[in-house]
Structure 1
Amino acid sequence: MKKILAFSFAVIGWFAIVMQYVVMVENRVIPLGEATIRFFSFFTILTNLLVAVYFSFELFQAKHPGAYTRRPGALTALTVYITIVGLGYQILLRHLWSPTGLQWFVDELLHSVIPVLVILYWYRYELKAGVHFRQIGIWLLYPFTYLIYVLLRGSQSGFYPYPFINVTDLGLAQVLINSFLFALVFVLVAAVFIGLGRKIGR
């Protein structure tokens, strides 16, 4: 069952990413190179890419219990990341646009369906007893590195993938405040998953 789920989730993840890229290419008004860079500047895309890679490794390393995907905390970290993607979209971004057709379908996969699937997989297969609160600091490296990247590139290109980190519109001080608040939310969500996992594990 685990292998079937890993295969299914990997297929869904890769399909959503590829189709989102295809839709972006078809609707772009900027050169392909710049559009591609912007595509991979979205936390949503990068995190769903991590999901697709994770389940691909999970599928092909099924006979290797020592693989990285089997280490306690790896799946929890991924679940926290994709949960932030889902929550952030539902609360802050959904009202900003109304996609239709294929764009709507792919959008729902990336922001709604895949987060729920990963959470269910975490519930069933994470080695919850081996996950510790001290791991949260390491998990923060990914969103922190992402923030540094988008701010540096945004200062050169003027493109910021999300309105709450748009330095041009909000100013650097407000963006840093917003980023700090997001970090707090990240820590809270991570702590909830760890605490919940320990209770489920018992």
Structure 2
Amino acid sequence: MTKQKGLFLLRLAIILSGIIGLAFLLPDKLYKFTYYTNISNLLVVLFYMYLLYLGNKPYSQTIWRLKGGITICITLTFLVYAILLAPKAKPEDFYHIKNFTLHYIVPILTIFDWLISDKKGQYKKSDPFLWTVVPLIYCIFSLIKGFVFHIPIPEEPHSPYPYFFINIDKYGWNGFFTYFTAILVLYILLGYIMVFVKRLKK
């Protein structure tokens, strides 16, 4: 098997895994796109579809930098779930194909794709900060939706907030900013690790 064919199959597996996981939201659970997990997985699916559309054409630096942003975006999904959410998950929710595809399979395959395919020296020093745009926009959206408009989320114990660490009504602004700062710092540090790794000679 050639490298190009192997990469094609890997990316196809990422797309199909994401589609399988997101398909559980259809037709009556589209409100679950309130969750960062589903948004990040949708971004991965759409972006990798675009990569398959490009085929073997050489990518511009913009594409490589965007790919790095997509990778860290889904990596956050994996880490936050594994560290903060999995210990609190109900068995029927944890041992579900949707959970495994969206929280584990898609993120891990995407990270693997990044390790073996992303070119060296494509990132700028400012990229780890630029990559925070997605989680920052998501956080602002969640706060406006929950704190300002109080739009309920069905089946969510922390409604109108999608996650417990955004629940200002329960934990207050101090609790929120503690979690938010920790996650943001982790996000930026991961970004710089990615930049560093892709500057190594081997």
CA distance in 1, matches of 2:77, 2:191: 13
1:13 aligns with 2:11: no
Uncovered stretches (5+) of structure 2, i.e. residues with no partner:
151-158
Q: Of residues 25, 28, 47 in structure 2, which corresponds to 1:54?
A: 47
Q: Offset at 1:175?
A: 0.9
Does the residue aligned with 1:130 lie in a helix, a strand or coil?
coil
CA distance in 2, matches of 1:93, 1:77: 23
Name the structure where helix makes up a greater proportion of residues: 1
Q: Number of matched residues? A: 188
Query: After the TM superposition, which residues 117-156 of structure 1 pair with which residues of structure 2 at under 5 Å, given as runs?
Result: 117-155=109-147, 156=149
Does the residue aligned with 1:171 lie in a helix, a strand or coil?
helix
Does the residue aligned with 2:64 lie in a helix, a strand or coil?
coil
CA distance in 2, matches of 1:136, 1:95: 28
Q: Which residue of 2 aligns with 1:3?
A: 8
1:188 aligns with 2:189: yes
Tell me the TM-score normalized by structure 1. 0.84
The residue identity in structure 2 corresponding to 1:149 is F
Q: Offset at 1:141?
A: 1.1
Q: Which residue of 2 aligns with 1:168?
A: 169
Does the residue aligned with 2:129 lie in a helix, a strand or coil?
helix
Tell me the TM-score normalized by structure 2. 0.84
Q: Which residue of 2 aligns with 1:95?
A: 87
CA distance in 1, matches of 2:124, 2:91: 39
Does the residue aligned with 1:128 lie in a helix, a strand or coil?
coil
The residue identity in structure 1 corresponding to 2:129 is G
Q: Offset at 1:101?
A: 8.1
Uncovered stretches (5+) of structure 1, i.e. residues with no partner:
26-31
Q: Offset at 1:115?
A: 1.1
Deviations 1:34-86 (A, max 9, x none): x533x111111000011111111111121543468x72222221111111111
Matched-pair contact (CA < 8 Å) for 2:41–2:74: yes
Query: After the TM superposition, which residues 71-82 of structure 1 pair with which residues of structure 2 at under 5 Å, given as runs?
Result: 71-82=63-74
CA distance in 1, matches of 2:135, 2:14: 23
Distance 1:99 1:49, change over 3 A: farther
Q: Offset at 1:16?
A: 1.1
CA distance in 2, matches of 1:126, 1:170: 40
Q: Of residues 8, 30, 34 in structure 2, which corresponds to 1:36?
A: 30
Considering only aligned residues, what root-mean-square deviation do their CA atoms show, in Å? 2.2
Q: Offset at 1:188?
A: 0.8
- Counting aligned pairs with the same residue, the percent is 22
Distance 1:101 1:88, change over 3 A: closer
CA distance in 2, matches of 1:169, 1:74: 36
The residue identity in structure 1 corresponding to 2:15 is A
